[in-house]
Amino acid sequence: MSRALGAVLLAFAVVFAAAWVRYSPPRPLPASAPPERFSAERARELQRAIAGDGVVTRAQGTPGHERAKGELVDALSRLGLNPEVQHAFVCGRHGSCGFVENVVARRAGSDPNASAVALMAHYDSAPASPGASDDGVGVAAVIEAARALSHDPPQRRPVVIVLTDGEESGLLGAEAFAQLHPLAKSVRSVVNVDARGSHGPSNLFETSTNNAWLVGLAAKNLERPVSSSLFYEVYRRMPNDTDFTVMKATANGVNFANLAGIDDYHTPLDSIANADIGTLQHHGEQVLAMARALGESTEAEHPPAGDATWFDVLSLFIVRWPAGFTLPLALAALALVVGQAIRMRAFGAKGLFASLATLGGGALATVAAGLAMKASGALAVPWIAHPAFPLAALHGAALFGGLSVAAATTREATPRGTWAGTWILWSLLGVGAAYVAPGTAYLFVVPALAAGLTAWLPIEITSGLAAVVAGILWLPLDTPIYDAIGFIIPPVIAISTIVLLSALPPLLRGLPRAVWIGMGVVTCAAIGVATLQPLFSTVHPQRANVLFRQDEDAAHAYVQTSWGTLEWGSPPRSMLESLGPLEMLSPRAPLPVSLPCPSVETTRITVAAPALEVEKSSVENGHRHVRIRLRSLRGATSLLLVFGDGKAPRNVVISSHGQVASSSRGWLVLRGIPTEGLEVDMTADGPDPIDLTLMDVTPGVPKDTPAAKAVDARRALEGVAVPFQEGDITIATKHARL
């Protein structure tokens, strides 16, 4: 191994260690901290109060929800903010409608004509979760930030505290505030906080459009920034949403979230005991800094046009430039590298393709390792109890594939030739990224510029310096990539290793065969150990719900380990056996949002089906018009309307509240249904009757049924399996042709 290669690998190790330290949340400040500072220990008391005993959910309509709402009103009242509870019925964009109770307060600014800054978080939780982190951490961060602001002189712009309800039901609270609350018209900036896990740093992962000025504020005011345009580019292409999705339609702002600790997400494990207080500290510092910056900003009311490309450097500072400069910078890097290669007379066929071959070899080997672990069942679910060996296998495979190819392709190539091939490839990747996703291009453009600008130095030095710059940008991505997507696409987990290897061919000439052969042995051993390890543990339990559904013609018990398109593995065998003989089980989808899951037909019990009263049914101008009243006879507060063939009527109006419902997915969820029910008007294309299945949903399953036995079987697993999302539920259905 050359000295230069050894120095680069040592630098990589230092960067990785620095990233591990810098991207860990900061230490919490004590309750004795100065009053104008954010203190996680002060905020923790409120987080603990709204999370309760760690068992009770804060889902809409539950006692935990009512108790938490009271805690928030009391906390804001103690700050002298005169909070109000916004009671509203609203329909959202995700096929849901419901009653919500937002908690809203306002602190006046010094300029009576200035628009407001909203600090937002949601206080409801998923039905199966106490929500200490999702989003108890956000609520506590917002209120403690508001307390710290109260010790400042009034800012120029007023601050509106918006603690939303019904986020887990489809962003309903944010919709209610945006559509119906009088203060919403004054809000032009938003700082939102959410959580997808129980620990990890606070990531500024999303902004509104025309974000260059916002990124500038973040760069000047965040002491420990964790942010990049890479996060922004990836997230805006994903189907995920937060309350910020609603607000950014009319306001500018930033969105913070932590990603680590998905083991606890939307399960009973999302408790105070598992919520990292350092994460609370980091969220609070970020919220407070941006609230102060936006509160005095004059750009917020009339934001200048233009987006930014940006990234933090080891959470020390943010580097940024106008997004419009990204493609010119990429082209400049390409021109500079090509010009240097011409100057050095560095062109040679063997050297030019060494980096590309190294990149391809690492990628193919990682794909093979991922497929092998998928086939063996080691990666049967996205996140597993013991990820260390699968991670080692994937990164080891990248090293084996990349180094073995590099050893072959650099053997007869000159260092100058491999330098030219390496950085021309990186420059071309930067140009391509600048065209397709400008926010990601910095990952290639900055190292390529470093290579071109230092090319007058000896080849080993310029190659090493550029590789270290690449390492500073790529190595910090290792942890958040796993937190974000798990093993859904295994090769992506090792992308930093794959890409960084392609920066090293100029330093790999003469690499001993024992190095890459050793990496192959390590990879095979890691795959073997990964295959033998259990997928689940009490720290990382399997998600498994039990459902009892009774239709008009049959009753079924289900064990469900999927939600939407995300699967959590085959259900525990003991839970399936509790339903009856395994050969009697058949796959069925109990809900429109579910994938098929094991079910067994069981004895019918006394469960009142939901009531559906037809108040009007007629054909006018060739279209079917129907008015119905829906209610539950067993006290269910959630109703689900499923339309025949997955095709909803073109117009669905909750006429008792004047809200137009979005039912484009072929179903509609109604939350918080009162005892008198709801009146619904529907208009269908054409005169044919409307086929409808009405479901009412209650928590828990009936006693003395196979579903209850499955719950007992899960309990016997002693925490290796837990409910998630909606939790265990009973569904009663009624079919109608209207």
Q: What is the pLDDT of residues 600-610, one digit of tens each?
A: 999 999 999 99
Tell the residue number behind the tokens 């409808």, with chain if given: 692
Q: Where along the chain do its domains lie? A: 3-17+323-532, 40-313, 541-738
Predicted confidence (pLDDT) at residue 95 exceeds the cutoff of 90: no
Beta-bridge partners for 547? 558, 729
Predicted confidence (pLDDT) at residue 646 exceeds the cutoff of 80: no
| DSSP states along 686-724 | SSSPPEEEEEEEEES--TTSHHHHHHHHHHHTTTSEE--
What's the confidence (pLDDT) of residue 572?
A: 94
Element holding 736 (H helix, E strand) = strand 729-737
- CA torsion 668-673-679-681 (nearest 10°) is -10
CA neighbours closer than 13 Å in the CB half-sphere of residue 160: 23
At a CB cut-off of 8 Å and minimum separation 6, what does 459 contact? 415, 416, 419, 506
- Integer angstrom CA distances of residue 325 from 170, 213, 405: 38, 15, 35
- CA–chain centroid gap for 635, Å, is 33
Q: Which amino acid is residue 340, in one-letter code?
A: Q
Which pLDDT band, with edges at 50, 70 and 90, does 727 fall under? very high
Predicted confidence (pLDDT) at residue 642 exceeds the cutoff of 80: yes
Which pLDDT band, with edges at 50, 70 and 90, does 52 fall under? confident
DSSP conformational letter for 26: P
Question: What's the whole-number mean pLDDT along residues 77-91?
Answer: 96
For the chain, what percent of residues have pLDDT higher than 70? 99
Reduced to 3 states (helix: H, G, I; strand: E, B; else coil), residue 329 is helix
Nearest to 270 by CA among 730, 574, 722, 729: 722
Q: CB neighbours (10 Å) of residue 253?
A: 25
Which token pair is 418?
A: 């491999």
Question: What's the whole-number mean pLDDT along residues 237-253?
Answer: 91
Which token pair is 431?
A: 């140009």
Instruction: List, for residues 448-501, the tens digit of each pLDDT value.
Output: 999 999 999 999 999 999 999 999 999 999 888 999 889 999 999 999 999 999
What's the confidence (pLDDT) of residue 592?
A: 83
DSSP conformational letter for 24: S
Predicted confidence (pLDDT) at residue 1 exceeds the cutoff of 60: no
Instruction: List, for residues 667-711, the tens digit of each pLDDT value.
Output: 899 998 888 899 999 888 888 888 999 999 999 999 999 999 999
Residue 247 and residue 167 in contact, taking contact as beta carbons nearer than 8 Å = no
Instruction: List, for residues 385-444, the tens digit of each pLDDT value.
Output: 999 999 999 999 999 999 999 888 888 788 898 999 999 999 999 999 999 999 999 999
- Integer angstrom CA distances of residue 650 from 181, 664, 684: 28, 8, 6
Element holding 563 (H helix, E strand) = strand 562-563
Helices (H), 53-125: 63-78
Label residues 117-156 b or e (16+ Cβ within 10 Å = b): bbbbbbbbbbbbbbbbbbbbbbbbbbbbbbbbbeeeeebe
Between CA 10 and CA 122 the distance in angstroms is 44
Tell the residue number behind the tokens 């290897």, with chain if given: 501
Q: Per CATH, is 40-313 categorized as 3.30.360.10?
A: no
Predicted confidence (pLDDT) at residue 310 exceeds the cutoff of 90: yes
Nearest to 315 by CA among 228, 255, 383, 239: 228
- Rg of the chain over all Cα atoms, to the nearest angstrom: 28
Question: What's the whole-number mean pLDDT along residues 67-71?
Answer: 95
Q: What is the mean pLDDT of the chain?
A: 93
Q: Which amino acid is residue 407, in one-letter code?
A: A
What's the confidence (pLDDT) of residue 576?
A: 95
- Helix axis angle, 40-51 relative to 63-78, nearest 10°? 150
- The three-point CA angle 445-474-2 to 5° equals 95
Reduced to 3 states (helix: H, G, I; strand: E, B; else coil), residue 140 is helix
Residue 174 and residue 247 in contact, taking contact as beta carbons nearer than 8 Å = yes
- CA–chain centroid gap for 694, Å, is 31
Residue 723 and residue 545 in contact, taking contact as beta carbons nearer than 8 Å = yes
Residue 211 and residue 308 in contact, taking contact as beta carbons nearer than 8 Å = yes
Instruction: List, for residues 547-575, the tens digit of each pLDDT value.
Output: 999 998 899 999 999 877 778 889 999 99
What's the confidence (pLDDT) of residue 349?
A: 65
Instruction: List, for residues 356-394, the tens digit of each pLDDT value.
Output: 999 999 999 999 999 999 999 999 999 999 999 999 999
Beta-bridge partners for 159? 107, 117
Predicted confidence (pLDDT) at residue 524 exceeds the cutoff of 70: yes
pTM of the model: 0.95
Lowest mean pLDDT among 216-220, 611-615, 684-688: 684-688
